[in-house]
Amino acid sequence: MPYVMPSHPAPPRRGGGRRSRFFAALAAAVTLATGAALLSPATEARAAAPTAAPRAAAALERVANFGANPGALTMYVHRPAALPADAPVVVALHGCTQSAQLYADNSGLNTFADRHGFLVVYAETTTANNANKCFNWFQPGDTRRGQGEAASIRQMVAHATAAYGTDPAKAHVTGLSAGGAMTSVMLAAYPEVFAAGAVVAGIPYGCGVDVVSAFSCMSPGADRTPAAWAQAVRDAHPGFAGPWPRVAIWHGDNDATVAPRNADELRDQWTAVHGLGQTPSRTSTLGPNNTRRSEYVTAGGRTAVEVNKVPGIGHGTPVAPGTGPQQCGATGTQHFIASICSSYWITAFFGLDGTTTEPPTEPPVDPPTEPPVDPPTEPAACWTASNYEHVRAGRATTTGGYAYAKGSGQNLGLYNTFVTRTLKESPAGHYTIATGSCP
């Protein structure tokens, strides 16, 4: 996932000395840690068997000039032989150390593009942007509307409409790992552009803001309230009232790189954005491996969010090599794991398989309000302690070097033994910063 180098490195400063050597050592240490996580996961190696070579893959078409490109990305497309007018478009974002061609050859998306007639846009980053070829999902300069990599990807969608005649109302986005986290970025920063997205082994929007917090987001993951997660999405495009993109979440149960709890946090984020609760409307299993699907359905009968938890696999894109109607993809390279063809189900979720008819677009929903808390029947309990002690006692959680009150999600300040707060518990398990008198 992340790497320590910034999106666009500044020229080196003169001198160096102990300070330069320290940061060089730090960079090397994080590189090794990241490389170990990405390049040698034993779980993926075991789960990838049996290995299947990809079918004869057609080279992607590179688009040399697609317009404004502040994020310095490269655009490729896979265009079916007979692309209909007003075709849908799916933007695909590769994982760290991967390329657009590798993702196209192994994910299986092109199989369904050819079968159902939609354009696939493959965005590719470079080692100049990030030494591990990760999309910079944790760099504010690349994740904000109108800036960096996010703006470049949005421009690719606009170019697809102008150059290939795709329908701007039928744009979708999906990606793996860092590409999955960048999918979250695109859905939040440009909700009016994308009808739906699919996040594979990714992270909620607004979690990482630098390298340190990014690693914490990956594992153990950040614990925030649905309301706090949803606010991060709304803050990405202030004033946007909907309709919001639909979101499919895919995650392996044994993922040791991006903790599986991120699937739950993504669920919390997008169900809250859609004004839904976190209890699924219906559950089911998919495929021979019994992938567990939970769906969160609006009052109009539309699945706004779904979570697909794939048993027995680690960090990667689930694929099912073969020629059957629900098979796709290839293994034999890192992070494509023999299991279930996620691209088949993602294509269906997007409504691009020719059999799914989506209900009419629903009107915008007002942001959900927190239900009123009944006054406690007994005096509220209070604790005064350092943020370190609050976290140890289970009254707060920590992410990105800060502590957050459990239940309310209020920022308590730096996670250390020097910052002291008084927390009030009311009702049980819900903590807020005490104001005024407190027993």
- 390: tokens are 């609050």
Q: Does residue 324 sit in the same domain as residue 201?
A: yes
pTM, to two decimals: 0.73
Point out the catalytic residue in the list 7, 107, 177, 339. 177
Q: Does residue 211 sit in the same domain as residue 251?
A: yes
Does 221 map to a domain?
yes
Q: Does residue 167 sit in the same domain as residue 51?
A: yes
Instruction: Point out the least confidently predicted range of 117-131, 305-319, 341-355, 372-386.
Output: 372-386
Does residue 11 carry a pLDDT above 70? no
CA separation (Å) from 85 to 80, 132, 166? 12, 38, 7
Does residue 402 carry a pLDDT above 60? yes
Does residue 20 carry a pLDDT above 70? no
Mean pLDDT of 350-363: 64
Does 388 map to a domain?
yes
Does 8 map to a domain?
no
- 141: tokens are 């300069």
Does 258 map to a domain?
yes
pLDDT one-digit tens code per residue, 48-70: 344 444 444 678 999 999 999 99
pLDDT one-digit tens code per residue, 183-206: 999 999 999 999 999 999 999 999
The SS3 assignment for 39 reads: helix
Q: Does residue 281 sit in the same domain as residue 427?
A: no
Q: Does residue 304 sit in the same domain as residue 422?
A: no
Q: CA-CA distance, 276 to 305, in Å (whole number)?
A: 9
Tell me the CATH number at 287. 3.40.50.1820
pLDDT higher at 355 or 144:
144
pLDDT one-digit tens code per residue, 220-278: 999 999 999 999 999 999 999 999 999 999 999 999 999 999 999 999 999 999 999 99
What pLDDT is attached to residue 4? Answer: 35
Q: Does residue 100 sit in the same domain as residue 155?
A: yes
Q: Does residue 296 sit in the same domain as residue 394?
A: no
Assess contact for 329 and 106: CB atoms under 8 A.
yes
* Residue reference for tokens 């109302």: 169
Q: Does residue 320 sit in the same domain as residue 414?
A: no
**pLDDT range class, residue 357, cuts 50, 70, 90:** very low
What pLDDT is attached to residue 383? Answer: 77
Does 31 map to a domain?
no
Does residue 372 carry a pLDDT above 60? no
Which residues form the domain of 61? 44-349
pLDDT higher at 412 or 342:
342
Q: Does residue 334 sit in the same domain as residue 410?
A: no
Give the largest CA-CA distance in the chain: 73
* Torsion angles phi and psi, residue 364, rounded to 5: -55, 150
pLDDT higher at 342 or 376:
342
The DSSP output letter for 366 is P
Q: Which of 302, 330, 349 is the last residue of a domain?
A: 349
Q: Does residue 262 sit in the same domain as residue 324?
A: yes
Mean pLDDT of the chain: 83
pLDDT one-digit tens code per residue, 278-293: 999 999 999 989 999 9
What pLDDT is attached to residue 439? Answer: 55
Is-catalytic flag, 177? yes
The SS3 assignment for 376 reads: coil
Does 110 map to a domain?
yes
Q: Does residue 259 sit in the same domain as residue 335?
A: yes
**pLDDT range class, residue 413, cuts 50, 70, 90:** confident
Name residue 258's beta-bridge partners.
Answer: none
Instruction: Tell me how many domains the chain contains.
Output: 2
Does 19 map to a domain?
no
- 420: tokens are 């002291």
Contacts of 285 (CB under 8 A, 6+ apart): 291, 292, 293
**pLDDT range class, residue 3, cuts 50, 70, 90:** very low
The SS3 assignment for 341 reads: coil
pLDDT one-digit tens code per residue, 85-143: 999 999 999 999 999 999 999 999 999 999 999 999 999 999 999 999 999 999 999 99
Does 32 map to a domain?
no
Q: Does residue 60 sit in the same domain as residue 136?
A: yes
